[in-house]
Amino acid sequence: MPVISVITPVRPDADAALLLEAFTSVAAQKLPAGWSWEWIVQLDGRTGGEAIRSLPRDSRVHIDRGRQGGAGVARTLGLARAEGEVVRALDADDLLTDGALARDIETLEAHPGIAWCVSGCLDLLPDGALVAGPYDPPEGELLLRTLQESFAADAFPVVGTHLAARTSLIRALGGWPAFPALEALALVMFCAAVAPGRMIAQPGGVYRKHFAQTTARADYWNAAEFGTLRTAITSRVNALQSQAWHWARTDAKERTHESGS
């Protein structure tokens, strides 16, 4: 039975109520026939984490913790435990929309040569209003050039935490980079540098904007550090392109044969 692995990093001081809402949005997903989901919850730190104790017991929910290193490190530690052939990102304070995982799976199955996809975003504002992402591109192929131009204009068109990708691609890229910020955006760029992807116009997630989120903290936005991060992302994209390496799909039967030969 094919599996989609939803990976969520959790801060030690995460809000239990928001994490439970995230779980509820995952558990409510209806998947294509034959598919199942697992939720990889990775606590970013060896202490704290009271929020994860609020989660109901479910055999599909796999919780672990590791040394604190930020969301990118936590996501990649979670990736090591993923059993699915598709990985889907989800933040601990965000929500999946109805049918989000099914649309991810159906998009990848309908386009075998596509390695990743990302869906539209709904911003949930503190007053309860839901508004569409300001830069969401139209349905269809999502080119690296489009992402690069938007990144340079500081108007990135997609939310990196709505990325769904074939697990083989994410592992080949080394998972999420160990950046203190922009790690989810960076991985979308790295995927686009080596593999074709698609945009799903229908919103696949609700991005919750609230005063306790990481990006709302005063120490998050550091101009000098963000300049370094932008350089790191651009230079790695350029390096990937210069190597002329491209992801190629290898199905499970081929992998089994190769490992046994």
Enclosing domain of residue 244: 3-260
Query: pLDDT, tens digit, for every residue of 9-26?
Result: 999 999 999 999 999 999
Question: How many whole angstroms separate alpha carbon 234 and alpha carbon 15?
Answer: 34
Question: How many whole angstroms separate alpha carbon 129 and alpha carbon 84?
Answer: 34
Rounded alpha-carbon distances, angstroms, from residue 186 to 12, 33, 144, 240, 261: 24, 32, 12, 13, 36
Domain holding 166: CATH number? 3.90.550.10
pTM of the entire predicted model: 0.91
The domain total for the chain is: 1
Phi then psi dihedrals of residue 249, to 5 deg? -70, 135
Query: pLDDT, tens digit, for every residue of 173-224?
Result: 999 999 999 999 999 999 999 999 999 999 999 998 866 666 556 666 677 7
Kindly write down the DSSP assignment for every residue of 126-186, as one continuous string: TTS-EEE-TTPPPSEEE-HHHHHHHHHTT---S-GGGEEEEHHHHHHTTSS---SS-HHHH
Q: Which residues of 156-190 are buried (b: 16+ CB within 10 A; e: fewer)?
A: bbbbbbbbbbbbbbbebbebbbebbbbbbbbbbbb
